[in-house]
Structure 1
Amino acid sequence: MKVCTDATLFGAMAPVAGGEKVLDIGTGTGLLALMAAQLGAGNTTAVELNRATFEEARINFGNSPWAEDIHAVHADIRDYAAYTNERFDLIISNPPFFERHSKSPDDLRNLARHTDELPYAELLHCAEQLLAANGKLYLLLPVMAVQQVQKEAEELELFLYRKINLKGYERNTAKVAALLFSRIATGFQETTLTIYRSDRVYSKDAEGFLSPFLLRFAPRTRTA
């Protein structure tokens, strides 16, 4: 599946502290788990429901420098939450979008882009079960879903304390937002990050986050 810029930027901004235990819910092909490992996570568990996608993620992890630090689990997160005793310092998820949107014909993309398989309320319930006492929940959501998810999270005593709106260009309105929740109600901060400053040229803010992860920013090797 094609990796979108929103998801890559979301992963690059993940608030990973060195040595933390991280859980990636719905890892897909493993992008966010790999980025968390690169950011310094001590151990990352990546849970994926779809068998074919899980196998792809497992191969990606095995071919990475962090093969020893990422554990792939083929499971429904609801089942995993019910049987595991693990608790995580940071839970990340780029959950399916478009809860009431019309379906697409491709089954794999359909599963990846719709919340029928895992409604937001159930995702939040699983996260609450799996989150350590001082843990953080980090989600990428459509802006139109934020109010609903914030309300459902508060019912589980998970409180939104940071919202970063992501928009393509300065002239655009934000369609997605990166959200941070914790068990402690603190002050709320909202900011907006513009991804591009001109036609497909990253803004300085976006480049700052993305440069460690994208080959286009890698130093060029001089040839003789």
Structure 2
Amino acid sequence: MSGFLYRYSGVGAWAVVLYAAHRITTGKRAGVSVFRFQQFSVQQGQSGMKVCTDATLFGAMAPVMSGEKVLDIGTGTGLLALMAAQLGAGSVTAVELNREAFGEARSNFRNSPWNVHLQAVHADIRKYAATCNESFDLIISNPPFFQRHSKSSDDLRKLARHTDELAYPELLACAAKLLSDDGRLYLLLPVMAVAQIREEAGKSGLFLSRRINLKGYARNRAKVAALLFSRTELKYEEKELTIYRAEREYSKESERFLAPFLLRFADAGKTVGRASARQ
């Protein structure tokens, strides 16, 4: 296999609910879809993984500070890069290995209000890191969730879900090279991988400072976690966020983050300010 990082499709009913609620079919080919947000749209016919709840919430919680230089590793459709731009990033560079997904992300950027702030790069992140002379204030990535486990049958999905080609230590090494001295690394990972990632990150001089465990409902166990790393050992914080309070009803906390993005909150988004994940 010769690919690496894209979007995780999510596990559980909440991912299906979000996708089904917003997917529309366009053109003559079935399956070509567009996911519409309040301020931008995401064409997602070429990327292996589609827009889903956990990735959207992860992007909405991104600790982007105004004017920062952001790098999105494995941008896929460009979702996280677009969200970072909406949150106030000064510039966002989005690296994507797959040519078709890269083209789709570039198109999504061009059609967004932040075209001048977004750059899509078709490259292997390892080669990009080896030659890049820039540093970034924030690196974000939603890497694939499975490492050397059973493969899915669909080729695009397989490319998006497995890390046989680029292991976690390589991702962390690339991030460590590209981060500024006070930069942060923000990852969405399965709970089962957090201990491994934390250990590997330490070898690259990156320390876990915040962990937010995401679960669908109060009765569920968290399956994914949003992790924030820095070069300095800071006081460690861990919390839990429940996405839904009832079927198709977001919790108040997740609604605070999602209100500026999802169409269902278009009116509320005008009055509900962006909640800071740093609080």
The TM-score, its normalising length taken from structure 1, stands at 0.97
Amino acid in the other structure paired with 1:54: F
| Correspondence 1:150 to 2:211 | no
Q: Which residue of 2 aligns with 1:80?
A: 128
Q: Which has the higher contact order (CA 8 A, sep 6+)?
A: 2
SS of the residue 1:68 aligns to: helix
Name the aligned partner's letter for residue 189 of structure 1: E
Shift of 1:112: 1.0
SS at match of 1:65: coil
1:59 paired to 2:107: yes
The one of 165, 175, 182 equivalent to 2:230 is: 182
Residue 173 of structure 1: aligned partner: 221
Instruction: Specify the code of the residue in structure 2 equivalent to 1:9.
Output: L
Q: Secondary structure at the match of 1:184?
A: coil
1:2 deviation in Å?
2.1
Matched, 1:120 2:177: no
Alpha-carbon deviation of 1:212?
0.4
2:90 alignment counterpart: 42
The equivalent of 2:243 in structure 1 is: 195
Secondary structure of the 1:160 match is strand
Q: Secondary structure at the match of 1:172?
A: coil
Partner AA of 1:115 in structure 2:
T
Check conservation: 1:24, 1:47, Cα contact below 8 A. Answer: yes
Aligned identity (percent) is: 73
Q: Spell out the pairing of 1:22-41 with structure 2 (5 A cutoff).
A: 22-41=70-89
Q: Which structure 1 residue ranges, 4+ long, deviate > 3 Å from structure 2?
A: none
Q: State the 1:123 CA deviation.
A: 0.3
- Contact between 1:11 and 1:35, CA under 8 Å: does it hold in 2? yes
Secondary structure of the residue aligned to 1:102 is: coil
**Contact 1:111 1:117 (C-alpha < 8 Å) held by counterparts:** no
- Pair 1:15 & 2:63 matched: yes
Question: Which segments of 5 or more consecutive residues in structure 2 lack a partner in the other structure?
Answer: 1-48, 269-279
Structure 1 unaligned residues grouped into runs of 5+: none
Count of residues in correspondence between the two structures: 220
TM-score (norm 2): 0.78
1:71 corresponds to: 119
**Structure 1 residue 91 corresponds to structure 2 residue 119:** no
2: CA distance, partners of 1:117 / 1:198? 39
